[in-house]
Amino acid sequence: MQFMLEWGVYSGLAIQAMSKEALPDDLELCCGDGFMTYHFHSLVSNSVTAMDFDEYAIQRAKKNCGSKNIEYIVGDIRSEIPNRKFENIVWDAAIEHFKETEITSLMATIKSRLVLGGILSGYTIKENHEEHMHLHQHEYEFHSKKDLARFLKPHLQECSNS
C-alpha cells in the first residue's frame, strides 16, 4: 500500500493537535492487526481504545502490538462503539467498507462520541472509475472530495475539502 505510513503519520498529527496539557484519549475504528495503533497512535495518546470486528486481527494485535495504554476490543462499529467521549477518533482506510446509509449512521455516532472540539481523522480512497471496486470488500468508494464531504459536513463543525 503506497499510503500506509501516511495513515499513521497524519492521524498521529491529528492526535497531537489535541495534546494540550495532557495526552488525549483516543478511539481507533477498524484497527485491524494494531500496527498503526501501536507504532503511531499509542505514542501520542494517554490511551487508545482500538476496535475491529475481526477476532483474529484483534488476537494478533494483542499478541504483536500490545501496550499498557492500548485496549483492543472485538466489536462491530455499526453497533458497538464504546459509549464514552474521546478527544480523537481515527477511522483510517475503512469508511469505504460501509454502505452509504451505514456511513451516515456511523457519522452521527462518531459525533456523539467526540468531545467538543474533538477531531475525527482518517483516510480513504477515491473510486477508480472502472466497473469494479478497488477491493471486493468495499461497499462504497467516494467519487470526489465533495462526495466524501456530504457525509462529514452535517456532523462536523469544520470540514475541509482538501
Greater confidence (107 vs 141) lies with: 107
Q: What is the CATH number of domain 4-13+24-152?
A: 3.40.50.150
> What pLDDT does 1 receive?
45
The CA distance from 15 to 25, in Å, is 9
The CA distance from 139 to 80, in Å, is 20
Q: Mean pLDDT, the chain, as a whole number?
A: 80
Is pLDDT at 148 greater than 70 in this prediction? no
What are the domain boundaries of the chain? 4-13+24-152
pTM for this structure?
A: 0.81
Asked if residue 105 lies in contact with residue 80, where contact means CB atoms within 8 angstroms, the answer is no
The CA distance from 114 to 89, in Å, is 7
Please write the tens of the pLDDT for every residue from 79-137. Answer: 999 999 999 999 887 766 667 788 888 889 999 999 988 888 877 665 565 665 444 45
Ramachandran area for residue 93 (φ above 0: left; ψ -120 to 50: alpha; else beta): left
Instruction: Name residues whose C-beta falls within 8 Å of residue 42's C-beta, 6 or more positions apart in sequence.
Output: 48, 67, 69, 70
* Neighbouring C-alpha atoms within 13 Å toward the C-beta of 95: 26
Please write the tens of the pLDDT for every residue from 62-72. Answer: 999 999 999 99
